[in-house]
Amino acid sequence: MALKTTQEYLDSLRKLDIKLYMFGELLENFVDHPIVRPSINSVAKSFELAADERYSELMTTTSNLSGETINRFTHLHQSTDDLVSKVQMLRMMGQKTASCFQRCVGMDAINALDSVTFEMDQQLGSVYHQRFRSFLQYVQDNDLVVDGAMTDPKGDRSLRPSEQADPDLYLRVVSESPDGIVVRGAKVHQTGAINSHEICVMPTIAMAELDKDYAVSFAVPSDTPGIFYIYGRQSCDTRKMEGSDMDVGNARYGGQEALVIFEDVFVPKERVFMLREYQFAGNLVERFAGYHRQSYGGCKVGVGDVLIGAAAMLADYNGAAKASHIKDKLIEMIHLNETLYSCGIACSCQGHRTSSGTFLINQLLANVCKQNVTRFPYEISRLAEDIAGGLMVTMPSEKDFRHPKIGPYIEKYFRGVQTVPTEHRMRMLRLVENMTLGCAAVGYRTESMHGAGSPQAQRIMISRQANLDYKKKLARVVAGIEEDN
């Protein structure tokens, strides 16, 4: 079975023995919990679209491991066309969900691990690549969702992992046996971890020899004994428990983050892909980050498409669509959004083949892409809020709107253009609120800043990749200071 149906995916989650805490309680049934379920629906959309012939060409591809048709989220990129298709797929997923759909982290992790483990084996004579590909074959055969777990708590940022007062602030190996290893620590900001079948762990920074116990990569089932989850709060999250589709804004879809605790978790040796080879940790971090920064040129653009559409609809509903300043603001939003997409496509088109056969994006352009993502969605959000108007944050609840006495007053006084139902205007305002201030802000605005690394992380990589010495030489040659050779 290479492709799951949506129902099979939901059924597979119900079979997991996930230990999830929310609001100080252990959840008995996380799949149907009103706060969690929208994030599950977002992941489920990837299975639904893969089965739809209108989208299957983009959502599925042929595995280079088995020759079978697989979901693109489990694929190793085999060409620059694959890299471009990835960005196009992520944009479409963003358009369909208007939220974070969570599977790209695992996709980026498997592609980074493929080339790095191959190079480790070439240099060390190890068998990490063989182990990794066996794991990936299992993932593809069963169409599994993989959580790419990179970010550690980090504690005191001025200290290296081995220097921390608490040694568990970076995930580490605490013991080793012929059968495997035992790890302890945590991964934070874990997008979609609870909705995943497998957790694929990677180091979070480049390591020195003193940090070698922290240079570890492996994959384990998400319900492995010793792993438990603490659900991350989002703004306005309890609105989902109130039973009002209107007040949530985007009632069906949402994102998800969690703190994942590894309390002396046993990892079989066949699932270990790096064990104290600290000299390769930096490469793995940089490649994963590059792939994930490319991803933002697709997913955030798709969500941006929805936000631009919502702003344009509100301009219509408010009777302001013909105003020149409104038109100009919408043009600016489109310009910024398409610039992000252009960066995602550009770093894909200029990708190259690694020694394992998997294609890697142009690292410089991927970091430029994400650097823009740390800025442009904020301006797009500001312009959307400007067009929407203040009612977006002062509007009464749906219960008030449905109330037999006060509801008619809301209907009367909050109507914009006479031909547009007040409810339509209110729903559109709540959607913009959701995407810029509420739950979806985690998957759009705020995540645009910190997801795939903070802005400074991209600036460091841009500095490394820019080849400033070459640019200086170009200037010297043109200025006649030296010959071109």
Identify the active-site residue in 151, 191, 354, 436: 191
Identify the active-site residue in 75, 104, 231, 369: 104
Annotated binding site: 191
Identify the active-site residue in 119, 198, 257, 277: 257
Give yes or no: 68 in active site: no
Q: Three-state secondary structure along the chain?
A: CCCCCHHHHHHHHHCCCCCEEECCEECCCCCCCCCCHHHHHHHHHHHHHHCCCCCHHHHEEECCCCCCEEEHHHCCCCCHHHHHHHHHHHHHHHHHHCCCCCCHHHHHHHHHHHHHHHHHHHHHCCCHHHHHHHHHHHHHHCCCCEEEECCCCCCCCCCCHHHCCCHHHCCEEEEEECCEEEEEEEECCCCCHHHCCEEEECCCCCCCHHHHHHCEEEEEECCCCCEEEEECCCCCHHHHHCCCHHHHCCCCCCCCCEEEEEEEEEEEHHHEEEECCHHHHHHHHHHHHHHHHHHHHHHHHHHHHHHHHHHHHHHHHHCCCCCHHHHHHHHHHHHHHHHHHHHHHHHHHCCEECCCCCEECCHHHHHHHHHHHCCHHHHHHHHHHHHHCHHHHCCCCHHHHHCCCCHHHHHHHCCCCCCCCHHHHHHHHHHHHHHHCCHHHCCCHHHHHHCCCCHHHHHHHHHHHCCHHHHHHHHHHHCCCCCCC
Identify the active-site residue in 296, 317, 341, 444: 296
Phi-psi region of 305 (alpha: psi -120 to 50; beta: other; left: phi over 0): alpha
Identify the active-site residue in 60, 61, 100, 358: 100
Identify the active-site residue in 77, 97, 200, 299: 299
Identify the active-site residue in 61, 129, 292, 341: 292
Give yes or no: 296 in active site: yes
Give yes or no: 104 in active site: yes
Give yes or no: 292 in active site: yes
Annotated binding site for FAD: 191
Select from 45, 5, 24 the least CA-distant residue to 302: 45
Which residues are annotated as catalytic? Answer: 100, 104, 191, 257, 292, 296, 299, 447
